Chain A
Amino acid sequence: MVTQSLPEDIEEFVKPLLESHVSRQVIGRKVIHDPILGSNVFEPYEIGLIDLPFCQRLRRISQTDVASLVYPSSTHNRLEHSIGVATIASRIIESLRERLTPRSKNSVSPMAETEVKAAAIFHDIGQGPFSHLSDAILKQFPEVIEYRKQHPGRFSEEKPHEMLSHLVVKSPIFNQYLKDEIVLKYKLPDINIDRIAEMIIAAGEKDPLSAWQANIINGPFDADKLDYLQRDAYFSGLKIGIDLDRFLHSVWLDIRSRPRQLKVMTSGAITLEQILFGKVLLYNTMYHHQKVLAAECAVRGIFEILEDNSEYKICGRRMNRAIDFLHVSEEDILSSDEKPEELREYIQRFLHRDLFKRALVISADTVVNPQKSIGYKDFKDLVDDPKGLRDLRRKLVEALNNKYSIYDIWIVLPQTSTFSDEALRAVIQDPGGKPQSLREPFRVDEWLTAYWSNKRKDYVFCPAGKAEREEVGRKAAELLHDEYGFSLKRGAFEQAKVR
């Protein structure tokens, strides 16, 4: 039952943080050095924003949740990423100005620039511990569902953190603080704080004259993607490239279109394709790497134990409301202090990298005649039905005569990635030429979907041990046959590499 609305919860989160924050006047510009984007100058007000506790909190949120257990150097955090997004947003603005005529330069005003940079710095302040793992939980909370329903067409179901970031910026107390402590103190142009909040969300800013600002923060080729694709690849050691310079040479603002839009010249279309290729490669090699998914199960287990035991808390919080995920850090969750034995056991296993192992690999390659039955589709639908997926795990535990805890048996279906929304919304056009979407010359999104469909795998994970893995794999295959009517080939067991 919803007792307090999400905006009310957010206000309660924001108030004490701002009351305890000592705001210091930043004197002069500062340079922030970054391994990917080099040395970049930040205005005093930007440093003032980065110093806010909401942003400093991002130092303690991993950018790639638990991927560092597989890619040890992937330990970068959400603050580094947010600063990177602000840097790239600033470069995009510079590029847009270069391409405007002297008469139209005012279209990219200092006010618009300030709003975009602030939105870049704030775009992730609603992220919870372990980033995407929190999102998967937050989207099921009643107050999140309720708020989304009250505002149809505005918030993506997949990314509740965007909603939380938006609500923090929009909260009256934060709004007033920005006016008093940032806008006045740093003598900023008359910025629109509500517009900053709108830029953060998927379908935000609709003012036709300022929609282009939102394109920079949350669009088909936004600064967010341009940063995370490079940053996550760099820190994980994967060689995945985005030609940012070429992109900056080809992006322009069409002040004649309504809404005013960011467009990319035909010579820069390749950089948009690189963004999509980069995304699919990163998902394939890192985000959906079987070992990363197994590590995520360890954290999901900790969250499930908390959900199942109402007396268990983290820092005094039940972790059953979205707001709890903003108060609690990854260190809070992983510290063993004052935690019940059951939780400590799973935390220790995570910290010691005692990860689950594959028992079964399920893919179109390992299913017998997938095109002839709907069972495999029905099984894959479980990705949007967390309760149904958990019920299936429970049935598997029962089939294994309850030898295992449900927190030890995992059926993992990584979320399907889509490419058509970006390919559809990305506009390629030379000034004076005819506009077309990225997918018009060639259906790059469908081509990537075909690639993805051939690479994608679902897994059954269980504790290590040859006999255990073989038994779990066998029982899981039987259960999938009984429940969904599809059979698995030998490859489903062989690809699990049980040794």
Chain B
Amino acid sequence: MEEKITKPFSPSDVIAALLTFLPEEFSNDPAKIHSTIAQLQKEEKYRYLLEDFEFLNYDPCPYSPLLGRILNRLQESRLLSSINPGYEKYVLNKDSRKAIKVDILDKKLRDQKDNLVQIASKLQEAIR
């Protein structure tokens, strides 16, 4: 609990920052997104970034209600959107990408950039 308070970033900051290292459009497959984050969370070097996500042991894959809510909240706040009419891909447009880079990545997560790039790369591989 104490650790949570002292962190300079929130779980939604981590997810938003991760998305900036993905292509402008990327697949919105929740099974792969949740499974990948659940898997990477177990690795020591990513724990600091990902430990706030609690995963339920669901079938067919682990599911984090917090991660689900954050992905929806990023859409509610218009930073992220789904492409109509198929809704198969998320889009992080240039304005949002720039805002996240300036206000989250550079200010709150600068020292975690390498880890974020690695997580994003593994996520991209999973959802490709």
Contact = CB atoms under 8 A, between A and B. Distances in A.
Interface in A66-106: none
B55 interface: yes
Contact of A443 (B71, B88, B98): B88
A374 B75 contact: no
B8 to A, nearest CB: 13
Interface string B55-93: 111111111011011011111111101101011100001
Contacts of A421: 30, 58, 63, 65, 68
A370 B69 CA distance: 18
A371 B79 contact: yes
Interface residues of B, number: 45
B115 interface: no
Nearest to A202: B56
Contact of A450 (B61, B74, B87): B87
B69 A384 contact: yes
B122 to A, nearest CB: 20
Contact of A449 (B10, B75, B78, B98): B75
A259 B59 contact: yes
Interface string A146-175: 001000111011100000000000000000
B124 interface: no
Contact of B73 (A148, A259, A381): A381
B61 A424 contact: yes
Contacts of B62: 153
Contacts of B74: 377
Given A418-B68, A418-B69, A380 B76 contact: yes
B86 A443 contact: yes
Given A153-B55, A420-B30, A443 B78 contact: no
B24 interface: no
Given A373-B99, A377-B12, A443-B28, A425 B78 contact: no
A378 B28 CA distance: 22
Given A156-B56, A381-B73, A371 B93 contact: yes
A325 B99 CA distance: 43
A418 B72 contact: yes
A89 to B, nearest CB: 20
A466 interface: no
A192 interface: no
A39 interface: no
A158 B73 contact: no
A209 interface: no
Interface in A400-452: 415-418, 420-421, 424-425, 437, 439, 442-443, 445-447, 449-450, 452
A157 B54 contact: yes
A265 interface: no
Contacts of B103: 373-374
B31 interface: yes
A481 interface: no
Given A372-B99, A421-B63, A443-B86, A154 B75 contact: no
Interface residues of A, number: 49
A211 interface: yes
Interface string B86-128: 1110000101101110011000000000000000000000000
B60 A443 contact: no
B18 interface: no
A289 interface: no
B47 to A, nearest CB: 13
A453 interface: yes
A152 B69 contact: no
A206 interface: yes
B4 to A, nearest CB: 10
B79 A203 contact: no
B76 A453 contact: yes
Given A157-B66, A381-B10, A452 B55 contact: no
Interface string A12-45: 0000000000000000000000000000000000
B49 interface: no
A378 to B, nearest CB: 8
A442 B31 CA distance: 15
A425 B60 contact: yes
A220 to B, nearest CB: 9
A377 B16 contact: yes
A261 B58 CA distance: 13
Contacts of A148: 54
A364 interface: yes
Contacts of B28: 443, 446
A371 B58 contact: no
A344 interface: no
B63 A384 contact: no
Contacts of B58: 202-203, 421, 425
Given A203-B56, A418-B65, A449-B75, 20 more contacts: A152-B55, A364-B77, A371-B78, A371-B79, A371-B93, A371-B99, A373-B99, A374-B100, A376-B78, A377-B16, A377-B79, A380-B76, A384-B66, A418-B72, A424-B31, A442-B86, A442-B87, A443-B87, A447-B87, A453-B78
Q: Which 3 A-B pairs have the closest CB atoms?
A: A446-B87, A443-B87, A418-B68
Interface of A: 145, 148, 152-154, 156-158, 202-203, 206, 211, 259, 261, 364, 369-374, 376-378, 380-381, 383-385, 415-418, 420-421, 424-425, 437, 439, 442-443, 445-447, 449-450, 452-453, 456
11 contacts: A154-B57, A157-B66, A203-B58, A371-B93, A416-B72, A418-B72, A420-B71, A424-B60, A425-B58, A437-B60, A446-B82
